[in-house]
Structure 1
Amino acid sequence: MKITIKDIAAAVGVSPATVSLVLNNRPSRIAEETKERIKKTAEELGYKPNSAAVLLKTQRSYTLGLLIPEICNDYYGKYAKGMEDACQAKGWSTFFCTTNNNPEKERQYIETLHAKNVDGLSIVTTPSNQSGLFSGNRDLILSYGIPMVQMDMTDYHKPANAVISDHFKGGYMATRHLLSLGHTRIAFITGPQFLEGSSSRLRGCQQAMSDAGIPWNPSLVFEGNYSYESGYAAIDSLISQKFTAVFAFNDLMAYGVYNSLEKYNLHIPDDVSVVGYDDNFTSAIINPPLTTVYQPIYEMGKTAAEILIHAAEQPDTEPVVKEFDLQLIVRKSTRDIR
């Protein structure tokens, strides 16, 4: 049975009008003791305010939306969990929408979330090659007046909030690690190069090679799409290049590398060293455990939600870009060949 203001009033012994004044935080001369009794009784009875009524009075829904390419990938799941936990801590709710890398589906979700009066929306960078359409969807979000946080991209043509990692540093660290172990023929399996995170990683790799005095070899670069399948296919494409190490720009592609190398009877790390990126849960338990660049994805999702909640409460807030540091996690998939 749904608990109403009248039920609370009857339990406390006051009028429904008094309960309404207290629960809506309206100015009154009601004694503090009575206010506490009303709030405690409302909590004990499990009172939930009508969401439509709250929206009508405040013009806010206390909900945030998240658009992600897929939910099964641990990378996106961590981000979603961070947003959800931050929202719950503030008494807010979240809507999660999976676009499957389809810009039209993403646009439909934006329109749906707008109709549901979300107070903010986070959009995660996608490996789709239809980047222009996705940029148009970001325009649509802002045209609706919805605060937006982009995940892992700052190249949008309008000022917007963003949570990003220092991917140049990540690419540099991973490459320097392999160089320090004596590897000079390193295969690089990138993400789509129109994505800011992927192109920044590649620049970091190039800088590390340059600092070591090793010429850059484009024939050792394969542009993937962050999927397991593209990591697997990359080895087929690069196998003739006689590399001794592979740096895959995410862990999913690294898993594809693992299985593809096995097909060629090449063992990790005895024959080929492998480095991934993200530090997914599986990376610590596969055989051998994967050396990878850790991204604080959960913290990024949490921060995105906090930025959006603040923007909803303070509409005149200037857009912010929050950059997160990265860490190289060295496990058993790389070895010294010097």
Structure 2
Amino acid sequence: MTNYQRLTIADIAKLAGVSKTTASMVLNGRAEQYRIAASTVERVRQVAAEHHFQPSTSARLLRSRRSETLGLVVPELSNLAHALLAQTLEALCREAGFQLFIMCSNDQAELETKAVEQLLARQVDGLMLVPCSNNAKLYAKWSKRLPLVLVDRRVIDSNLPFVVTDAEEQVFTLIEQTLAQGVNEIAYFGGQMTLSPSIDRLAGYHNAWRSAAKTPDEKLIFHRDYQQHSGYAMMTECYKQLGRYPEAIFAASISLLEGALAFMNEHDQFQTAPQYLLCFDDHRLLDCMPRPINAIVQDSAQLAKQSLTRIMALLASEPIDSAWIPARINWRQKPR
């Protein structure tokens, strides 16, 4: 038994000296439609404000068949790119009159399914999802239940709409410009090989080597996942394999870079660190590092804006297409 008291519209009506129907019309924005006197509207609103009363969203859902909520599922909020995406989307959704529910999958298919099922149970109006697998049939099934847009990652062999960064082009430029400095050794630290970001970023890496008429050492291409500890593990393995640092390192996410930097700090505090450090994703703290780090900057604002725009279009039964969002490079160590 709870000691908390919940006010109802009936309570507000009694305090304002009006009928429950009149109070309901006022508090649900239909006073003008039913020609309720301005003095009555003011009295009901004043009583509601004094008691911090808000109409039941559940009741409104039953009437409108809309919850005015949206869902976002990301692998983890400790990932800088996904944290920025969530923060930006939350503000945009609020401005558009929606509440955003944010859930994490930990990049595990089972947890992702549970997260989506919980959001479906809450009857969210639309879903934005950073997929953690290439299970096209599963995502297609969800897209039949509600408007669905894939964000940051696309699903291979699926025609579901997506909004992702055009990673391949900027990775190509970053690697190509580094090779042009006479570098012949760039270790690659990547995440899960089946995910679209891994496919796109590795494609940019290989294309740059081909463009430079050079061949990368396949033994220096490592894959695990996008967790920080995996960056540490891949840096450890790379160092043991060579007996030294490679000339350059490209980390396919800032979380992997964090792990690699942790190894360098523990090993010799960057005294013999690679000549070139390259990363996908950027952060202002990289300006404070003892070695310059050239980083690819994603446009989180556009990723969020274009995702929400497509959800809104789907809610209006309008056709949409997918979007590739341009990125740029923050050159802290400019090519000569």
TM-score in terms of structure 1 length: 0.82
Q: Is the 8 A contact 1:64 1:119 kept in 2?
A: yes
Name the SS of the counterpart of 2:176 in structure 1.
Answer: helix
- 2:194 is the counterpart of 1:188: no
Answer yes or no: is the 8 Å Cα contact 1:85–1:302 preserved in 2. no
Output the aligned Cα RMSD.
Answer: 3.2
Q: Deviations over 1:232-259 (max 9, x none)?
A: 2222333344631111111111122223
Q: Check conservation: 2:313, 2:320, Cα contact below 8 A.
A: no
Matched position secondary structure for 1:204: helix
What SS is found at the alignment partner of 2:78?
Answer: coil
Q: Does 1:217 align with 2:222?
A: no
Q: What's 2:33 paired with?
A: 28
AA aligned to 1:62 is: E
CA distance in 1, matches of 2:266, 2:214: 30
Structure 1 gaps of 5+ residues are none
What count of residue pairs does the alignment treat as equivalent? 326
Partner of 1:174: 174
Residue in 2 aligned with 1:253? 256
Instruction: Sort the Cα spacing of 1:35 and 1:298 in 2 relative to 1 into closer, same or farther, 3 A.
Output: farther
Q: Paired residue for 2:102? A: 96
**1:117 aligned to 2:123?**
yes
Q: How does 1:1-338 map to 2 (within 5 A)?
A: 2=7, 4=9, 7=12, 17=21, 20-21=24-25, 23-25=28-30, 28=33, 30=35, 44=49, 46-126=52-132, 131=133, 134-143=135-144, 145-239=145-239, 240-241=241-242, 243-262=246-265, 265=268, 267=270, 271-288=274-291, 290-312=293-315, 314=316, 316-331=317-332, 334=333
The CA deviation at 1:3 is 6.9
The structural deviation recorded for 1:306 is: 3.5
Q: Secondary structure at the match of 1:259?
A: helix
Unaligned runs of 5+ in 2: 1-5
C-alpha deviations, 1:211-232, integer Å up to 9, x for none?
A: 2222233222111312222222
Q: Is the 8 A contact 1:74 1:281 kept in 2?
A: no
Change beyond 3 A, Cα 1:277–1:88: same
Q: 1:156 to 1:270 in 2, by over 3 A?
A: closer
Which amino acid counterpart does residue 79 of structure 2 have in structure 1? N
Cα deviation digits, residues 70-89 of structure 1 (max 9, x gap)? 22222221111122111111
Q: Which secondary structure state, in structure 1, belongs to the residue aligned with residue 89 of structure 2?
A: helix
Given that 1:119 and 1:309 are in contact with CA atoms closer than 8 Å, whether structure 2 keeps it comes out as no
DSSP 3-state at the match of 1:164: strand
1:130-153, Cα deviation, whole Å (9 max, x unpaired): x35x5454234224x211111123
Letter in 1 for 2:99: S
CA deviation vs aligned residue, 1:301-325 (integer Å, no higher than 9, x gap): 343234323422x0x2223312211
Give the direction of change, closer, same or farther, for the CA distance of 1:93–1:214 in structure 2 (3 Å limit): same
Calculate percent identity across the aligned residue pairs: 22
